[in-house]
Every structure is written in C-alpha cells, then in structure tokens.
Amino acid sequence: MKRKRESIFKAGYVIGLLIISVAAFMWYSHKLKDELRGLVRNTLKEVSNQNVLVMQKEIEWDLAALEEIAERISAMGETDEGEILDVLRRIEERYSFKRFGFCRADGIVHTTVDEMADVSEREYFRASMQGESYISDPLIDIMDGEEIIVFSAPIKSDGEVIGVLCAPYRMDGLKEILEVSSFEGEGYTYVIERDGDKIVDSTHPTSFRNMTNIFKSMTEADERNDQAVEDLKLLLDAGQTGYVIFYNKVGKYMYATPLGIKDWFLIDVVPVDFMENTSNYIINRTYIMCGILAVVCAVIAFLIMSEERRKKQRIQNLLYVDELTGGNTLARFKIEVERRMQVHYKKLAIIMMDLDDFKLVNELFGYEEGNKVLRFLSRTLKESCCDGEFTGRSNADRFYILFLYEEEKEIKQRILKLAENIQRLRMSETMEYLLHPVFGIYYVKAGDDNVEDMMDCAALAHNMAKQARNSTYKVYTDEIKEKELQKKQLSDQIEHAYRNHEFIVYYQPKYDSITRKLAGAEALVRWRRADGQMVSPGLFVPLAEESGFVCKLDEYVFREVCLAQKRWMDKGLDIVPVSVNLSRRHLDNPEFINEYKAILDESGVPIEYIQLEITESAMFEKKEDFVQIMERLHDLGFMILMDDFGTGYSSLMMLKSIPIDVMKLDKSFVDDYDDERGERIIRCVMRMAQDLSIAITAEGVETEAQYRFLTSVGCDTIQGYYFARPMPEEEYELRMQA
Ligand code: C2E
Ligand code: MG
Ligand code: MG
C-alpha cells in the first residue's frame, strides 16, 4: 500500500515536472517569438524611416532649390522671358528636374526646351500664383506624355506674385530613388495618397501590377486581405505609422509611414517569410537546443535514478537476502507477512522451525557441513511453499514459514511431509544420522495485526514442542502463553525466594536391591513458599538453569547435605552416601570443584558419603571440559553418578572415557521393562555396565514387578516410590534409624 502510494506520488511528480517544463518552454518560445517579431518590426520601421528621409530630402531639397531660383528671378526685376529662360538653361543641368518653365499670370508657360503650353488650369499654377510653393499630384506631361509631378514656386516683384517658376520631375526618378535595394532585394516601396491612390508604384516583380489604388489592388490580390485593407485605411486616416500583413501569393508586411509631404504615405513591403526567416532560424535553433538539453537532462536523470535504484537494491539485498542461504531474511519475512495480511484471501499460519540438534550437527560434522544443512533447510522449506507462501531465516537454524490454508489439518499434514523431506538428508555415508526438525504453529486470528507478536506465539509453541520429547510440532494455544507467563513470574521470584530461605532439601532413599536395606539417598531441592505451597522442581529447576542461578542452588543443597550428614554422624547414626545433583551449568565454571571440596572439608564429612549426580545430556555440551571436570572430581574422591541414563545420546562405549561409578537408569527405561524391546535394551545396558564395572541404580521404580525384574537383571540399588518418595530431613532421619 505504502509502496503503491509512493509510486503514484512519483508518477505525479514526474508528470507535474513535465507539465511545468512544457509550459515554461511554450511560454519561453512564445516570448521569444514576440521579441523576434518586435525586432522584425523595428527593422522594418528603421528601413521605412530611412526611405522617408531619402524621399523627404530629395523632394524638399528640390523644392528649396526651385524656391531659391524663383527668388533669384524675382530679384532680376522686370525682365523678358528670353532672359529668364537663358538663366534657367544655364543652371538646368545642376538639378534633377526634367526642365524649367516660367509663366506669367496668363498661365502660358515658356519652357527651357522652347515649348509653350497653357497651364492656367493646373493646380500648382494656381497655388503658386497665390504665393505658395507647391508639389503637384502625378500628372501626364503635356509635352511628351510622361508621368511627372511638378514643383512650382511664385516669382514676385515688390511683394506681388507676377508669375510662377515650375519644373516637372519625372516619376521614374522617384521610383529609382525608392528602388534602392532593401531587404536583399526582397522588399519594395510605394508612395500613396491617403485615399490609397498611387503616387509612386514599384517595378519589383512581386509588386502589384498597374496599381492605381492600393486598396483596390490588395482586395483583388487575395480575399483574405479585407481586414488588412480596413486596418490600413484606419492607419492612413489617422496619419499614423503602422503595419498590416496582407497576402499577394505570400504573406507580406506592409509598413506605412506618413511622408510629411502633402498627404502622402510611404509604404514599405517585405515578405513575412523573409523577415521571419532569421527569427524562425533562431527559434528552431532554440527548439533544438532545448530538445538536446531535455534529452541530456532525461539521460542524466535516468542514470541518477538507475544508480539510486541499484543502491536501493543493494541495501535491500543486504537487508532482505540472507547471505548464507540466499533466502529471505527475517526483516523481509515480516514485511511479506504484513503484505499478505492486507490481502487476506486465505487463512494464514506462521510457523517457526529449527532442528532439535543443530548444535550437535556442528560439533559432529563441523561448521561447513552445518552451513550446508542450513542451505538445504532453506531450499527444502522454499520448495514446500506454494503461491503466496514464503520463508525467512532468523538466526542459526531458526526459520519462519508462512503457509496459507483452508483447514488446520492441511497445515499439520504439510508439516509432517516437510519434516519427512528434511529427514531425507544423508549427513554421512558411514554414520546413520537423522535431523530432527521441530515446528511451532500459530494460526493467525482475526484481529491480529502485530507480526512480531504472532511470531512470538509460533516461537512459544515451538518451545513447547522442543520441551515435549519426540513431538514434531505443537500448535499455539492460550494455555501455552499462560504457562510461559507463569514461568516468567517464577523465574523472577527465584532469587527472592532463596534469600527468603524458601528452598529446602528433601531426601529420597535408595535401597539395596537384594538386602532391601537403605543404601543411600538422593538430595532433591524443594521450593516451599512462605504460604507453605510447594513448587515443583520440574518447573523451577529448568528456569534456574536458564538464568544460571541453579549453581547457587546446587551449592546450597551441597552444603546443606554436608551439614546434615555431619549432624547425623555426630548423633551416631549409621549414615549412607547421599547424592547431590550437579547442574550442567557448572561446566561453565570449573572453579566450583575447589569450593565444593572446601565446603566438604569444613564439614568434616568423609568424602565417600557425598556423591555427585550429573545428567548424561550435559556431556554433549562441552565434552572435553566434561571429561576433565569429572576426572578431577573423581580424583578428589567423589563418586560420580550418571543421572537419567538413556535420555541422551551417549553410547556405552563413550562412557569408557568418563570415570563413572554409578549409572542411574532413567525412569523411561524402567517404565518400558515389560515390553520386549525395552526388556532387551535393559538387559543389554546391564551387561555392558557390568563389563565396565559400573554399578546400576534404577530410578522411578514404582511397582513390585519393576523391582523384581530389575533385581533379577542385576540392578544394584533401587530408587523410587516403590520404596520411598522424596521426604523431609526429619522423616529421612527416621528411616536411617529403622
Ligand atoms: P532427577 O535428578 O532425575 O531426580 C529424580 C526425580 O525423579 C525426582 O523428581 C524424584 O522425585 C522423581 N522420582 C523418584 N522416584 C520416582 C517414582 O517412582 N515415580 C516418579 N514419577 N518420580 C519419581 P523431582 O524431585 O521432581 O526432581 C526433578 C528433577 O529436578 C531432578 O531429576 C533433577 O534433575 C532436578 N533437581 C532436583 N533437585 C535438584 C538440585 O538440587 N539440583 C539440580 N541441579 N537439579 C535438581
Ligand atoms: Mg538426580
Ligand atoms: Mg534422574
């Protein structure tokens, strides 16, 4: 769920980033286009202004020149036409006029080319006769039909206009001025009147042919130009500078600027494409650069992300992959269980498994073989998993499994099958060795939500299975938990009870099998609470062993027994040897030997009256130390009794290396005496013990029949309810006296 939310967030993040980038890019290119268009318009404006200047200069200069000549003629006073024309002819070449003409108030013009004409009807004549200098609209030359404009200026005498000096100017001359190539020959220029009528048109191949009115030509060229015509009309009416875009085969800018001469406008035309080529080039380059940048960024982002992913994977591997077996770690197991719990399509069972004897595997076959066993276990567990199931290793040989099920019995069957598969592993060619997997099962209940708690429950059930010998699995129940709680409370109370003198020693007599006389006793610790309630040693001894407190307890019992024996000796009683139990935890600290010896010496009891019992299974924990400790104790003079013989793994041959004086046949052997196989085993053990000169004590003898049988096979001493239960000191004292 968390992961899904994370990836939705990531996708949203990337999409958001993409949208922002695209929007930013679009905004930027829009801005760039605008700026470049502005730049284009500025260029157009500058070129147009240039043309206006050229035109103004040309016309104004010519008009000014004409006015100056008119003044000079005026200054000549009353002169005849011939003289005036001579003057004009002399200067004619200096100016770009076609010719000069002079007329008096009658409107008959005398020209420098000796032609005469009547211009009394011409506007320029009339205007100049009013005292104005004037430039005419385009006219047809009366003399040769050429298109011209006429410049005119008044000639005065004593302040009175007496005539007009006029000079036609060829339109072609104006055209030539305007046709100076602009925009690499792509642009051209018109001069028009405010109403659109042509003053000067262009010979450029893409200009309007035979234009008389610019609006008319625009309308005819393309029907899309209606708006442009309207806009241009507005511009001209307002006498403003501005541009429109119109179509004549291609889109073109038309830039209008008032010429400042009459109501004439200069119109510069240039194709949109030409103007925008450069900006398009820049924009395209920008697009390409942005594209490359985006690709580079994407590649870098991809590389960074892959590296991140690889790093994450490596960390996850460290966290989630068990280095030794290649299977899942416990961390991964927990995460997967949590995930399955959310899906919940089937019932879940959490199972804990380990081997009853993995330590032994390591000791017998070495660590490398031990590791192989772990890999084999991981593989076998994995193979037993179906879809949606998985395993994880916690530590050493401890594995967790998640199984899905419909009915509980399926799980039990699968576990037995799994145990069978595990037991198929052949550890050695020469030695028959079976692995003993033990399982604890926890069926996940509705409302369970803490994986660790569920695993603890599986571990509790597993613990129970381990304690109960010969059981492959146990299912968690609330009673198990209850018992665990009690154990915990007990374990917390032991030390306090010790200080409170709640521990006392009971004695269980042992009898000679033949004479039926008291032959010894075993000292057994008892916990009697302040309220008189007894706590079973079966409950608290294992707890004390776990915490190590048992050593203190053993020493206490040892001392109590020494003191009691001394008291009885002093009373003159015929004491018999009393055996004291020695926990396996003493093997951790062999110093206890000296302490025990000191206690014994201090009590003054001869060493033959105190014996030591150690369980057979303790031998496997630290075999070397065990033998040494036993030898030292034996050398000191203690008799060594091997307790619970038959519950461990020792063979009788192994006993050879340990100085054992007495072997205590475990109750489980005694109980099985009446089954054929049990009987045979007892007989065999007896025979071998006798060969090794080891005496035998049978434990847990409860019936006459057991007693008889054991006596008949040669048991030396008998301990059990048949003769006596463990009893308080006073009661035992009475037995000694009997
Ligand atoms: P263990 O050393 O094998 O002691 C013999 C146990 O068998 C005693 O149980 C005894 O009461 C019981 N027993 C004897 N005869 C019979 C019988 O005929 N029938 C049945 N059902 N049981 C019989 P207890 O006293 O409950 O002690 C249990 C175990 O606790 C002992 O087994 C021993 O391993 C441990 N333990 C007791 N006292 C001490 C102690 O002072 N130190 C240490 N380290 N362990 C002790
Ligand atoms: Mg014992
Ligand atoms: Mg025993």
**pLDDT tens-place string over residues 414-463:** 999 999 999 888 777 666 778 899 999 999 998 888 999 999 999 999 99
The whole-number pLDDT of residue 25 equals 79
- Flag whether pLDDT at 602 surpasses 90: yes
CA-nearest residue, atom 44 of ligand 1: 583
Q: Distance between CA atoms of 508 and 490, rounded to whole angstroms?
A: 25
The whole-number pLDDT of residue 1 equals 53
583 lines ligand 1 (CB under 6 A): yes
Tell me, in angstroms, the distance from the centre of ligand 1 to residue 524's CA: 6
The whole-number pLDDT of residue 57 equals 86
554 lines ligand 1 (CB under 6 A): yes
By the 8 A CB rule, do 444 and 454 touch? yes
Task: Return the residue matching tokens 């398009």.
Answer: 280
Which of 83, 84, 54 shows the shortest CA–CA distance to 69?
84
509 lines ligand 1 (CB under 6 A): no
CA-nearest residue, atom 4 of ligand 1: 524
SS3 of residue 278 by DSSP: helix
Tell me, in angstroms, the distance from the centre of ligand 3 to residue 611's CA: 14
- Give 372's contacts (C-beta < 8 A, 6+ positions apart): none
Strand partners, 512: 717
- Counting Cα atoms < 13 Å in the Cβ hemisphere of 726 gives 15
Q: Distance between CA atoms of 209 and 618, rounded to whole angstroms?
A: 122
Query: Which helix H or strand E contains 51, and what residues bound it?
Result: helix 2-75
550 lines ligand 1 (CB under 6 A): yes
- Flag whether pLDDT at 648 surpasses 70: no
Tell me, in angstroms, the distance from the centre of ligand 3 to residue 664's CA: 7
Q: What are the DSSP E strand ranges found in 8-159? A: 101-104, 108-111, 116-118, 134-135, 139-140, 147-157
Q: Distance between CA atoms of 698 and 516, rounded to whole angstroms?
A: 14
SS3 of residue 735 by DSSP: helix
Task: Return the residue matching tokens 């006769």.
Answer: 129
Tell me, in angstroms, the distance from the centre of ligand 2 to residue 712's CA: 24
572 lines ligand 1 (CB under 6 A): no
Tell me, in angstroms, the distance from the centre of ligand 1 to residue 626's CA: 22
Q: Distance between CA atoms of 634 and 628, rounded to whole angstroms?
A: 10
544 lines ligand 1 (CB under 6 A): no
Ligand positioned closest to the Cα atom of 508: 1
CA-nearest residue, atom 37 of ligand 1: 524
Which of 308, 261, 229, 304 shows the shortest CA–CA distance to 54?
261
The whole-number pLDDT of residue 11 equals 74
Site to substitute for ligand 1 among 504, 511, 524, most atoms within 8 A of C-beta: 524
Q: How confident is the prediction for the chain on average, in pLDDT?
A: 89
pLDDT per residue over 42-95, tens digit each?
888 888 888 888 888 888 888 999 999 999 988 887 778 888 889 899 998 888
Cβ < 5 A residues, ion ligand 2: 581, 613, 643
Site to substitute for ligand 1 among 467, 526, 541, 617, most atoms within 8 A of C-beta: 541
pLDDT per residue over 494-540, tens digit each?
999 999 999 999 999 999 999 999 999 999 999 999 999 998 898 89
* Helical axes 550-570 vs 729-737, angle rounded to 10°: 40
By the 8 A CB rule, do 404 and 341 touch? no
Q: What separation in angstroms does the CA of 607 have from each of 184, 339, 611, 638, 695? A: 130, 65, 8, 6, 18
673 band by pLDDT with thresholds 50, 70 and 90: confident
Burial of 347 (0-12, 13-18, 19+ CB in 10 A): middle
Tell me, in angstroms, the distance from the centre of ligand 1 to residue 665's CA: 13
702 lines ligand 1 (CB under 6 A): yes
697 lines ligand 1 (CB under 6 A): no
Ligand positioned closest to the Cα atom of 579: 2
- Flag whether pLDDT at 125 surpasses 60: yes
The whole-number pLDDT of residue 290 equals 80
Show the tokens assigned to 486.
Answer: 């009690």
The whole-number pLDDT of residue 159 equals 84
Average pLDDT, integer, range 125-137: 92
| Dihedral-angle region of residue 529 (phi above 0 means left; psi in -120 to 50 means alpha; beta otherwise) | beta
Cα–chain center distance at 687: 70
First to last CA, the chain: 79
384 band by pLDDT with thresholds 50, 70 and 90: very high
Tell me, in angstroms, the distance from the centre of ligand 1 to residue 41's CA: 112
By the 8 A CB rule, do 701 and 718 touch? yes
Burial of 219 (0-12, 13-18, 19+ CB in 10 A): middle
From the alpha carbon of 557, which atom of ligand 1 is closest? 41
Burial of 160 (0-12, 13-18, 19+ CB in 10 A): exposed
Which of 310, 372, 382 shows the shortest CA–CA distance to 318?
310
